[in-house]
Structure 1
Amino acid sequence: MIHNDVLRRLRYALAINDTAAISIFKLVDYDMDIDYLHAIMKKEGEEGYLPCRDKIISLFLDGLIIKNRGKQEGSTPQVLEAGERLSNNDILRKIRIAMSYKDDDMIVVLKNANFRISKGELSAFFRKPDHRNFKPAGDQVVRNLLQGMVKKYRPDATRSANRKSSDKTNDRSKTVAKDKEGQKTNSVWGKVAKPSR
């Protein structure tokens, strides 16, 4: 899962606007440029899209930890060096700390997205990489955690999105026309003219 998606979904789940996002970066002494922020919020293929670097998503998550839990005396967020990578396990760990989630909380949030996981499976993601029970987290886990967070913190947005999707389906079905014999045509745009021979 690319970091742009993580940033975009996390901001949506927690309703973090541009001003709040920039203030979160300031908590870790990073001056986020608004144009760059907009560029990394775009989807791949959109004009002006730029990839979100590992350093940026790491700083944002560290800033979110400070915003939600306060700054720890004597500790400064570790800035990733060029070439250092932030794994899915690291992302899960930082979200867990920022949101003060315990194992049960994470299991419930994942369940919101219809993703079932046991405590044992979950704890394997938070082991040290050299631990025999360590397990690398896949994109699916991060994606479902963020989706579960949207359902937890923005239930109205989820319901309205489902309603819009349902309305579109109903609108499409209403536009299916019938031909002279009363048979439904295949086009959602109405009767398709027969090609001239």
Structure 2
Amino acid sequence: MNNNDILLRLRYALDLKDTEIIEAFQLGGLTVSKEEERAMLTKDPSRQQEANDPFEKNVYMKMINNQVLDTFLNGFITLKRGEPKNKPAEEPQKKSTEIRHINNILLKKVKIALALTSEDMLDILAEAGVYPSKGELGAILRKEGHRNFKPCGDKYARNFLKGLGLRYRNEGK
């Protein structure tokens, strides 16, 4: 699962509009046009291989890296929760460079943006058929470098986004 897949699945799960995605990027400090946003969410048919290979990564018109996704997630927090009241002095954030750790960042920042508790996250994962222990979830949510830190695999991230979709898209029905 690449960063474009994460953005696309998050958009579907939370039913985000184009304007909300663009606004989240702007709040995160990155100006994105509507055309760029559409390219991030559109698969490139000329570069797709045969559908027979299920392990082939999806190729999008405009691929995004970890820093761009992290910028979106920061803006998403601000979009959902508003500007922080006691904003600390600007410190340069450590940007993630490895794709396996972007999944940890995704879970942490979506948890913050939607004001979810650990119990809520366990329920969301359970809706998708994954049952981690509270300790496993805590290890995934820890800061990288902590002795109990555990990298979040694509399975947890994919099922978390699936569970979000099941919960938030079915709420209105």
> In 2, Cα distance between the equivalents of 1:62 and 1:49?
23
Q: C-alpha separation between the residues in 2 aligned to 1:11 and 1:35?
A: 16
Alignment partners' CA distance in 1, 2:11 and 2:21: 8
Question: Which structure has more RCO (C-alpha within 8 Å, separation ≥ 6)?
Answer: 2
Q: Is structure 2 residue 97 aligned with structure 1 residue 84?
A: yes
- Unaligned 5+ segments in structure 1 are 160-197
1:128-178, CA deviations, whole angstroms, 9 ceiling, x for partnerless residues? 333332211100000000000000011289x9xxxxxxxxxxxxxxxxxxx
Aligned equivalent of 1:74? 87
Match of 1:105 among 97, 103, 120: 120
Query: Of the two, which has the highest radius of gyration?
Result: 1
Query: Which amino acid is 2:61 matched to?
Result: Y
CA displacement at 1:38 relative to structure 2: 1.1
1:20 aligned partner: 20
- Normalised by the length of structure 2, the TM-score is 0.79
State whether residues 39 and 49 of structure 1, in contact with CA within 8 Å, keep that contact through their aligned partners in structure 2.
yes
The answer to whether the 8 Å contact 1:3/1:52 transfers is: yes
Matched-pair contact (CA < 8 Å) for 1:58–1:80: no
State the Cα distance separating 1:98 from its structure 2 match.
Answer: 0.9
1:3 matched residue in structure 2: 3
C-alpha distance in 2 between matches for 1:77 and 1:112: 37
Deviations along 1:25-76, one digit per CA (max 9) or x if unpaired, are: 2222321122211111023646762211212211111111011112113245
Structure 2 residues not aligned, in runs of 5+: 48-59
| Matched residue SS, 1:125 | helix
C-alpha separation in 1, matches of 2:71 and 2:123? 27
d(CA) in 1 for partners of 2:6, 2:94: 17
Partner of 1:116: 131
**Contact 1:89/1:125, CA 8 A, preserved across alignment:** yes
Identity among equivalent positions (%) equals: 35
CA–CA separation in structure 1 for the residues paired with 2:83 and 2:11: 21
Alpha-carbon distance between aligned partners in 1 of 2:170 and 2:23, rounded to the nearest angstrom: 25
Aligned to 1:166: none
Paired residues of 1:62 and 1:77 also in contact (CA < 8 A): no
Q: TM-score, normalised by structure 1?
A: 0.70
Matches within 5 A, 1:142-153: 142-153=157-168
Q: Is the 8 A contact 1:4 1:43 kept in 2?
A: no
In 1, Cα distance between equivalents of 2:160 and 2:126: 9
* Residues matched between the structures, number: 157
Q: Where do 1:35-46 residues align within 5 Å?
A: 35-43=35-43, 45=45
